[in-house]
Structures are given as C-alpha cells and as structure tokens.
Amino acid sequence: MLENNISTVNNDVKTLVKDAQALFTAATALSGEKAEELRGRGMRALESALAKAQEAQASAVAATKEAAKSTDAYVHENPWRSVAIAAGIGLLVGVIVGRK
C-alpha cells in the first residue's frame, strides 16, 4: 500500500513539474499580463509538487516508525524465535554467497 502511494505521488510530482516547465517555457515567449499569469500557474504547480513530495515523505517516515515499533515489540515478545529467524537468514545468505 505504501509503495502504491509513493509511486502515485512520484508520478503526480513528475507530471506537475513537467506542466510547470511547459508553462514557464510558454511564458518566456509572452510578455505582460499573460506571461505573469503563466508564471503564476507554474509557481503554483511547483508548490503543489513540493507539498505532495513532503506528504509522501511524512507518510513514509510514519510507516517506517510503525514497522520499527512492531518489529521491536515482536523481538521483545519472542526473543528466541527472533534469534532463530536471524540465524536462518544468516545461514541462507551464507549459502548463497558461498556458491558464487
């Protein structure tokens, strides 16, 4: 779910930045009130992109903190099982690396 949200936000931000770039390019060919309007729209698009990126970052940080809390609680409740899992993963990585 988090990966979908991050992917969607990344696509939205890329689209907003491209739109802002197009507006700025169009504004360079114009002068006066029309150019100011296009520059304003471009700035609003960039501000929106920045806000979406900050939201995605905050969401990712919150999800990471929640996962860390959950992992910490599990390890404290099941210390020997956690040691066995870590040893199993270490053995698996050792076998994979040893084959190369």
Whole-number average pLDDT of the chain: 82
Q: How many CB atoms lie within 10 A of CB 55?
A: 12
pLDDT tens digits along 2-25? 667 667 777 777 787 777 777 777
Region 51-70: mean pLDDT is: 86
Instruction: Tell me how many domains the chain contains.
Output: 1
Residue 6: domain span: 2-99
pTM of the predicted model as reported, rounded to 2 decimal places: 0.53
Alpha carbons within 13 angstroms on the beta-carbon side of residue 43 total 6
Which comes out higher in pLDDT, residue 37 or 83? 83
Q: Decide: 38 and 26 in contact? Cβ < 8 Å.
A: yes
pLDDT tops 90 at residue 31: no
- How far apart are the C-alpha atoms of 49 and 46, rounded to whole Å? 5
- How far apart are the C-alpha atoms of 29 and 70, rounded to whole Å? 55
Name the band, by pLDDT with cuts 50, 70 and 90, for residue 26: confident
CA nearest to 42, candidates 11, 12, 21: 21
